[in-house]
Amino acid sequence: MILTVLGSGTAIPVPDRFPAGYRLSADTTEMLVDCGPGVLRRFAQSGGDLRTLAAVLFTHYHTDHCADLAALLFALRSPHFAGRPPLRLCGAKGLQRLVDTLTSAWPWLAPRGYELQIDERLPGSFALGAFEITAVPIRHTAQSLGYHCRAEGAAVALSGDADTCDELVELARGVDLFVCDAATPDGQKLDGHLTPSLAAEHAARAGAQALLLTHFYPECQGHDLVAQAQPHFTGPVHLAADLQTWKWNVPGARETP
């Protein structure tokens, strides 16, 4: 399994971090978790190919997590992608309304030459190609889901935007890597988000093997976020960076960047 960070930032524009997006691949299955503005460019930079993208999973519907959905739907109308396999969009209730609203504003987003499958999920487990995925409700918005993704003997949990809740512990139980919101430094917590120490506390309770902090607001600049997290978690703590890649059970690859 391979995880590539496509966007480790927020809605606030900064030069080196795009808004939220992650690429996950295993065997012949490739998917995105979140698709914030600019993430499709990062997807291309990482070697991704829209012809083989199987699915997009949305943690919630704030613009910095889903704005490139419109760009994706418009791109897939190109004859270049005609006849490609169906694209599956997964998320909580409200996804169909989002797609309908976008298509009402921009009729040229309607599928042409391929099938679009919209899958509004309740919490629980489902299969997606090589992946076994569990969606867990997370405290942020009424439609927020975190995703526990398992394939090829490895497991990754992605919190999306998150505030303190026991569901984060359930989400990250025993995973190889917990990709967790740490939006601002300790002492500057925002409602609906975590800080490094809070993310680390949840990772420790879950027994995660490693913690990858992400979704950094500009307030994080100049702070040692790893040092803030480490007293609360005995495993390795890393900071997400755009185009950073993690690999498990890939011949010749290390499990950490």
Give the whole-angstrom CA distance, residue 118 versus residue 163.
27
pLDDT at 17: 98
Claim: this prediction has a pTM higher than 0.75? yes
Mind listing the domains of the chain with CATH numbers?
A: 2-240 (3.60.15.10)
CA distance 216 to 195: 10
Q: What is the pLDDT of residue 253?
A: 52
Query: What local confidence, expressed as pLDDT, does residue 185 receive?
Result: 98
Token pair in block for residue 197: 């120490």
Low-confidence stretches of the chain (pLDDT beneath 70): 251-257
| pLDDT at 251 (0 to 100) | 67
Predicted pLDDT at 82: 95
Listing DSSP states for the chain in one string gives -EEEEEE---SS--SS--SSEEEEEETTEEEEEEE-TTHHHHHHHTT--TTSEEEEE-S---HHHHTHHHHHHHHTTSGGGTTPPPEEEEESTTHHHHHHHHHHH-GGGS--SS-EEEEEPPSEEEEETTEEEEEEE-SSSTT-EEEEEEETTEEEEE--S--S-HHHHHHTTT-SEEEEE--S-TT-PPTT---HHHHHHHHHHHT-S-EEEE---GGGTTS-HHHHHGGG-SS-EEE--TT-EEESS-TT--S--
